[in-house]
Amino acid sequence: MRHSRILGIGHYVPPTVLTNHDLETQMDTSDDWIRQRTGIEERRVVTEESTSDLGYEAAVRAIAKAGLEPKDIDLIVFATLSPDFYFPGAGVLLQHKLGVGEIPALDIRQQCSGFVYGLAVADQFIRTGAYEHVLLVGAEVQSKGLDYTTRGRDVAVIFGDGAGAVVLGPSDEPGIHSFHLHSQGKYHDMLWMEKPGSAHRPIITPEDIEEGRQFPKMEGQTVFKHATRRFGEVIKEALAANNLTVDDIDMFFFHQANLRIIEAISKALKIPPTKTYNNLHRYGNTTAASLPLCMSEAVDAGHLRPGHLICPAAFGSGFTWASAIIRW
């Protein structure tokens, strides 16, 4: 039986740091407010790079860690909510930047859950034998699209730029044991970027831009409530489907949105802090990049090691939420 597993992981963040204190000079906010509410202390921001540029940097690192070369990749899956252009997607731009052959490239738009959805997509293509080596990238440039004024302060302080990538390949033993994916579109406007979009004619107007409707908007408390509930549910779903308990899992990786959400779930599920790795204090919420960025750092720090059984989980705009069980 053919399975898939992760062969290599890498990440990249732009060097420029934007601290909470820097934000205090741009809007009516405070380091205290941001730390207490979210746990975030600073985030990275690009100068000129685009999402596919960050994705490229993470991709070359992941490919090298897998012991492969770009020419060995035969499918690109690119998860992002901040593509370089409305169309075409970031995946084809990455195909060009990697200088590889005319391989397929697809984008997926599941926001903070994009990486786990992407794992499921990659797993399918490998298990059926359609492709050997799938490059899955989660990358975001949020900073160019945020409202860094007091009007946008509830959203702008949360997000950051970054990228993470994995290469998946075939395996006799299961690497990806399971995934559980969900969506609930009735809450699409609880965390969204309304314009530009084909729901409107024209897709955006000068008045819309004046009113800031091109910036992401969030009903923070509603998102918080749903996230806390859904994270718990989807982790329990993953454990039950594999006849596992919290004790059987070596590491849990949470989408890095808010330390208070992570602490609430850890407390409810009795997950000890030694089984988690967080970096949102340094990067904020990097959406589709968040999980691979976290897992890649955990590998570099020696926390995530070969043979570990792990459970990544995510929740985000859509709403979408997802979990997986993976043998590292």
Query: Cα 143–145–146 angle (5° rounding)?
Result: 70
Contact code string over 119-158 relative to ligand COA, x by CB under 6 A = ----------------------------------xx--x-
Which among 14-22, 33-41, 199-207, 295-303 is the span making contact with ligand COA, rule CB under 6 A? Answer: 33-41
Our finding on whether 112 is near ligand COA (CB under 6 A) is yes
Which among 29-37, 201-209, 231-239, 294-302 is the span making contact with ligand COA, rule CB under 6 A? Answer: 29-37
Q: CA-CA distances (angstroms) from residue 20 to 33, 156, 158, 164, 219?
A: 9, 11, 10, 23, 21
Q: Which of 3, 24, 35, 37 binds ligand COA (CB under 6 A)?
A: 37
Q: Among this protein's residues, is 112 annotated catalytic?
A: yes
Which among 71-79, 84-92, 120-128, 215-223 is the span making contact with ligand COA, rule CB under 6 A? Answer: 215-223
**3-class DSSP state of 230:** helix
Our finding on whether 196 is near ligand COA (CB under 6 A) is no
Q: What is the DSSP string of 37-106?
A: HH---EEE--SS--HHHHHHHHHHHHHHHTT--GGG--EEEEE-SS-SSSSS-HHHHHHHHHT--S--EE
The answer to whether the beta carbons of residues 73 and 63 sit under 8 Å apart is: yes
The answer to whether the beta carbons of residues 161 and 284 sit under 8 Å apart is: no
Q: Among this protein's residues, is 279 annotated catalytic?
A: no
Total residues interacting with ligand COA, rule: CB under 6 A: 20
Nearest to 12 by CA among 57, 46, 44, 47: 57
Catalytic residue, chosen from 226, 255, 258, 279, is 255
Catalytic residue, chosen from 278, 285, 294, 311, is 285
- Residues of this chain that bind ligand COA (CB under 6 A): 29, 33-34, 37-38, 112, 153-154, 157, 220-221, 223-224, 227, 257-258, 261, 285, 315-316
